[in-house]
């Protein structure tokens, strides 16, 4: 697959239905993590004046023609967008592969289908924003309706920039809001490229805008007094800053989808092959750079050795599929940049004194930001490798003996995003899944999300939910009308 779009052509912001020169003269420099070669150094880094301009146009769009669209008209826009993306999406996603290291082999299936299904799902929700009616038994008829918030903002991660744009844009626009998107400074190209397709599909100018920029641009959005909602996906540390900025400004609504340290619990009656498949895939997806990565695997002592042997065999085999992300035969790419690479390498080096390394650990190849699948066992209590999010293809496998013991292991963290329970015992599956402190628990699966069901974390892994009807409620405000 050859590039059809030039990354150097995205040197403008997308505001009010057109590409415009940024008022800020700062730019972003983007490298390809496979070899650290220059991709572009002309992507704008939006400043305060750019943000203010986008907000003004967003306000005009919210109160303009977009506010008169019927539910059927909004659905029609979604469906036209699906058809437009069918041919154009692969080239757009290729752009992000150049700077994030996401393998293009994911585009035809995982990326494209994910985005398409998200749009089709929310296209069916535009005419189902039902409210409530309560009878006048006290002399008042009570009506409750769910109204759009207005100007919203999305701050997206680098591991799936375009997919994240649609995950947030679909429920936001389905409920009649408008959206300003700030993609990660590590992967802004695809988001800038996809933006004009919204107008092509019939959405009015200003309904969706894209501002490229770094963390300061995100801070400007979080603290802006005329933005009513912000949805952020990223680290816990940044999520805390966004929540503080939102509270200090105008108490804007906040959805935070943050980090994870997902446990997978494998009981002795589990289907061993199934457990190995899910846990390996759960740590290697996007080279471990996903919030739901199955980075902690707890295995019953009766099957620990058999599991570990099969698990390490699969992880080692995966290292041979690590390579050039722009080659469609590559399954796993590099980490996103040199900073991420150095951070993961440091965590691996520190873990040598806290756990036993049984696979990987060294640099893969002689150039680029490649980390091979890495496995530790027997961590010491409180070891950072089992308490802190790595965000790389690094896992810890540990044995357990009792059910209550492993539930304690699983919950001994401030994270609570994803977990997995592998067993043939339905009663045990339900019992353990109820006791695990996590927003999502898979039974005989892990690191899995579904557009129909709410996704989000407990504890420090986030606030609010994405996907399903729950995301729609996060983009609306209930209003009660009392009729005497």
Burial class (CB in 10 A: 0-12, 13-18, 19+), 263: buried
Token pair of 40, please? 């572009």
How many CB atoms are located within 10 Å of the residue 188 CB? 31
Token pair of 194, please? 């996809």
Q: Which of 189, 162, 28 is closest to 99 using CA atoms?
A: 189
The span from the CA of 380 to the CA of 408, in Å, is 15
Q: Does residue 257 have an active-site annotation? A: yes
Q: Which one from 257, 354, 389, 466 is the annotated catalytic residue?
A: 257
φ and ψ at residue 208, rounded to 5 degrees: -130, 125
Q: Which of 277, 266, 270 is closest to 313 using CA atoms?
A: 277
Q: In this structure, which long-range contacts are made by residues 425-432, counting pairs with CB atoms below 8 Å and at least 24 apart in sequence?
A: 425/267, 425/269, 428/267, 428/403, 432/265, 432/403, 432/407
How many CB atoms are located within 10 Å of the residue 139 CB? 8
DSSP calls for 80-102: HHHHHHHHHHHHHHHHHHHHH--
Report H helices in 209-303.
215-222, 236-249, 272-284
Give the side-chain half-sphere CA count within 13 A for 335: 23
The span from the CA of 446 to the CA of 195, in Å, is 33
How many CB atoms are located within 10 Å of the residue 135 CB? 8
Q: Which of 39, 165, 174 is closest to 98 using CA atoms?
A: 39
Active-site positions?
257
């Amino acid at each position: 697959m050859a590039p059809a779009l030039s990354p150097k052509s995205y040197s403008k912001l997308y505001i009010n239905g057109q590409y415009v020169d940024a008022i800020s003269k700062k730019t972003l420099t983007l490298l390809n993590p496979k070899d650290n070669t220059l991709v572009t150094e002309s992507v704008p880094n939006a400043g305060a004046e750019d943000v203010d301009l986008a907000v003004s146009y967003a306000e005009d769009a919210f109160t303009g023609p977009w506010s008169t669209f019927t539910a059927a008209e909004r659905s029609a826009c979604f469906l036209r967008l699906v058809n437009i993306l069918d041919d154009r999406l692969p080239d757009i996603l290729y752009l992000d592969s150049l700077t994030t290291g996401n393998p293009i082999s994911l585009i035809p299936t995982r990326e494209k289908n994910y985005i398409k299904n998200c749009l089709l799902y929310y296209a069916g929700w535009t005419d189902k924003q039902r409210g409530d009616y309560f009878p006048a038994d006290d002399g008042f008829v009570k009506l409750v309706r769910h109204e759009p918030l207005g100007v919203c903002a999305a701050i997206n991660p680098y591991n799936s920039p375009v997919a994240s744009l649609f995950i947030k844009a679909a429920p936001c626009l389905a409920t009649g809001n408008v959206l300003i998107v700030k993609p990660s400074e590590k992967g802004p190209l695809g988001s800038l490229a996809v933006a004009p397709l919204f107008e092509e599909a019939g959405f009015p100018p200003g309904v969706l805008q894209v501002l490229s920029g770094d963390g300061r641009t995100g801070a400007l959005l979080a603290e802006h007094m005329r933005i009513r909602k912000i949805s952020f996906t990223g680290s816990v540390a940044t999520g805390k800053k966004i929540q503080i900025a939102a509270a200090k400004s105008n108490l804007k609504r906040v959805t935070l989808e943050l980090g994870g340290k997902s446990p997978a619990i494998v009981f002795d009656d589990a289907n061993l092959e199934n457990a190995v498949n899910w846990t390996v895939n759960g740590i290697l997806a996007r080279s471990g750079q996903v919030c739901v990565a199955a980075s902690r695997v707890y295995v019953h002592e009766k099957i620990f050795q058999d599991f570990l042997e099969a698990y390490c065999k699969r992880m080692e085999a995966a290292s041979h599929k690590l390579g050039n992300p722009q080659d469609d035969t590559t399954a796993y790419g590099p980490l996103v940049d040199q900073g991420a690479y150095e951070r993961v390498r440091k965590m691996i080096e520190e873990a040598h004194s806290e756990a036993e390394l049984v696979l990987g650990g060294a640099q893969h190849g002689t150039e680029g930001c490649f980390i091979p699948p890495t496995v530790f066992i027997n961590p010491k209590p409180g070891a950072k490798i089992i308490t802190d999010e790595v965000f790389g293809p690094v896992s810890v496998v540990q044995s357990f003996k009792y059910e209550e013991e492993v539930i304690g292991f699983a919950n001994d963290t401030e994270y609570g995003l994803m977990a997995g329970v592998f067993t043939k015992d339905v009663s045990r599956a339900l019992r353990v899944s109820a006791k695990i402190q996590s927003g999502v628990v898979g039974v005989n699966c892990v690191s899995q999300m579904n557009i129909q069901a709410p996704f989000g974390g407990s504890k420090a892994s986030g606030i609010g939910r994405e996907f399903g009807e729950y995301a729609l409620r996060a983009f609306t405000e209930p209003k009660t009308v009392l009729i005497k």
